[in-house]
Amino acid sequence: MGGTELMVLVVDDDFRVANMHAGIVNALPGFSVSTTVTTLAAAHKAAPVDLALVDVYLPDGSGIDFVRGLQCDSMVLSAATDARTIRAAMAAGALSYLVKPFAPADLAARLSGYARYRRILSGTNLGGSEVDSALDALRPRIAPVPSPTAVASPTKQLVLQALRTSERAMSSAEVSSEIGVSRATAQRYLSTLANAGEVKIQLRYGTTGRPEQEFVAVDKPPSRPAR
């Protein structure tokens, strides 16, 4: 820990959601995912990290209990919205609580804020204003600007074309299969497009398990004719 990049552990019972979150993390400069796991048992065996992104409901226990025993920073990402769970997560030491489903931009903003928090607290003998700034950084109000390189790339156009020509919403796996890129690459571009407001995220409910994230292209309003 403490190197040039902030190492992140992603803990979620749905491997698809875990991979989506990992894609958001890896797309941000200064962050790198150490590993993704779907159980507490695997999380306990993971290498030390700077930050853990933890779901509450895991197949072998509570993510809040895991957060309570961590020796690193953590954020809870969960669909649970009851006040008792949220208070328990914060009391356990979570720096942030993000309610699912959320836009990739929301998680990216929290992570960027966390990076600022770490930079501010890397000093010594901090003043009151610096402490306030560090804590404020954990609750960002503006999402970061998407990467211009990603937005301008041909892959972006392929992703958008696949979504616009599809008769239904597509998962990241379906997009990757349609345009012939890896799932991680598809996730990265879908996250960037969602940040830019060109793609909308919704949930696909199956017969079993947690819902899967799927994506729909957002139609741009027609331009007004010149007078």
What single string gives the DSSP state of each residue in 14-44?
Answer: SHHHHHHHHHHHHTSTTEEEEEEESSHHHHH
Quick check: 141 pLDDT over 80?
no
Q: Where residue 31 falls among pLDDT bands split at 50, 70, 90?
A: very high
- In Å, how far are 7, 49, 94, 96, 115 from 91, measured between CA atoms? 23, 21, 7, 11, 22
Give the integer Cα–Cα distance in Å for 154 and 158. Answer: 6
Categorize the per-residue pLDDT at 36 as very low, low, confident or very high, splitting at 50, 70 and 90: very high
CA 53 to chain centre: 8
Which pLDDT does position 198 carry in this prediction?
Answer: 87
What is the model's pLDDT at position 101? 78
Provide the β-strand partners of residue 78: 99
- pLDDT average, residue stretch 156-162: 88
Write the pLDDT tens digit of every residue in 68-127.
999 999 999 998 889 999 999 999 999 999 988 788 888 988 999 999 999 988 878 888
Instruction: For the domain covering 148-217, report its CATH number.
Output: 1.10.10.10
Q: Specify the pLDDT at position 71.
A: 92
Q: What is the DSSP letter of 197?
A: T
Backbone angles phi, psi at 23, to 5 degrees: -65, -40
Residue 34 near residue 8 (C-beta atoms within 8 A): yes
Q: Looking at residue 197, what is its pLDDT? A: 81
At residue 208, the pLDDT reads 56
Contacts of 188 (CB under 8 A, 6+ apart): 23, 26, 27, 150
The yes-or-no verdict on residue 215 having pLDDT over 80 is yes
3-state secondary structure of 189: helix
Q: Residue 55: phi, psi to the nearest 5?
A: -80, 160
pLDDT at 150 over 50: no
Using CA atoms, how far apart are residues 11 and 22, in angstroms rounded to an integer? 10
Q: Confidence class of residue 1 from pLDDT cuts 50, 70 and 90?
A: very low
Q: Which CATH superfamily is domain 6-137 in?
A: Response regulator (3.40.50.2300)
* Residue-level pLDDT at 32: 93
Does the pLDDT of residue 39 top 60, yes or no?
yes
**Residues 156-182, mean pLDDT to the nearest whole number:** 88
How many Cα neighbours within 13 Å face the side chain of 130?
Answer: 10
Q: pTM for this one?
A: 0.63
pLDDT tens digits for 175-213?
Answer: 988 888 887 778 778 878 887 788 888 877 765 555 678
Confidence grade of residue 50 (pLDDT, cut at 50, 70, 90): very high
Tell me the pLDDT tens digit for each residue of 7-27.
999 999 988 888 889 988 988
Q: Where in the chain is the domain with CATH 3.40.50.2300?
A: 6-137
CB contact set of 38 (below 8 Å; sequence gap of 6+):
11, 12, 13, 14, 15, 18, 58, 59
Amino acid at 65: D
Residue 225: pLDDT band by 50, 70, 90 thresholds? low
- Residue type for 169, please? A
What value does the mean pLDDT take over residues 35-44?
95
Q: Where exactly does CATH 1.10.10.10 map onto the chain? A: 148-217
The phi, psi pair for 112, rounded to 5°, reads -65, -40
